Amino acid sequence: MNGDENEITLDDINIRHKLRPGDMGYILYMHGNIYKKEYNYGLMFERYVAEGLLEFYQNYNPRKDRVWICEHDDKIIGTIFLIHRENAAQLRYFLLEKEYRGIGLGRLLMKDYMDWIRQQQYPSVYLWTTNEQIAAANLYQKFGFELTEKVSSTDFGKHVIEQKYEFKAKS
């Protein structure tokens, strides 16, 4: 990462698709911790994530939903979730620990995600993010997502512009 001999590569990362006890709590912790440090999001954001994780857990269907849990040295370092909706999929909880950004892991996860979307024949995918997530928005756009909606919000303990990105499968 900074040019030292112990640079982490994609080969060092394990990606699994099954939830284990403790995963949901740790993913909630990661979101609260990282977004507080990097963007000063408050407890309202953590509550928002907790409510979404609970909804995912309660409605989980292994034929329609999927998780990508990234681990390094048996520690969760990143995630991305696919949550089924009525006529679409929702991308949620895409997060990487800072020291694992820039090695191609985000691109790999998005490629796997989009491959799975196509395999499952979802007609569309959407996600919500904020105007502060510039690198993530750029990645989404590289994979064919388009910005379709903007909403002013203070739900995360500060003012942000929530942004909806959508991807429509070609027929």
Q: Which distant-in-sequence residues (6+ apart) come within 8 Å of 58 by Cβ?
A: none
In a domain, 134, yes or no: no
- Banded pLDDT at 171 (limits 50, 70, 90): low
Pairing of the two strands 66-72 and 75-84: antiparallel
**Residue 68, domain member (yes or no):** yes
Angle at CA 112, nearest 5°, toward 114 and 56?
A: 75
Specify whether the CB–CB gap between 32 and 78 falls below 8 A: no
In this structure, the strands spanning 124-130 and 89-96 are parallel
For the stretch 125-152, pLDDT in tens is 999 999 999 999 999 999 999 999 999 9
Domain assignment of residue 80, yes or no: yes
CATH number for the domain harbouring residue 26: 3.40.630.30
Q: Per the structure, how many domains does the chain have?
A: 1
Buried b (16+ CB within 10 A) or exposed e, 102-122: ebebbeebbeebbeebeeeeb
How sure is the predictor about 19, in pLDDT bands with cuts at 50, 70 and 90?
Answer: very high
Is residue 91 within 8 Å of residue 67, measured between CB atoms? no
pTM, two decimals, is: 0.91
> For the chain, what is the largest distance between any 2 Cα atoms, rounded to a whole number of angstroms?
48
Question: Would you say residue 99 lies in a domain?
Answer: yes
Residue 164 is assigned to a structural domain of this protein = no
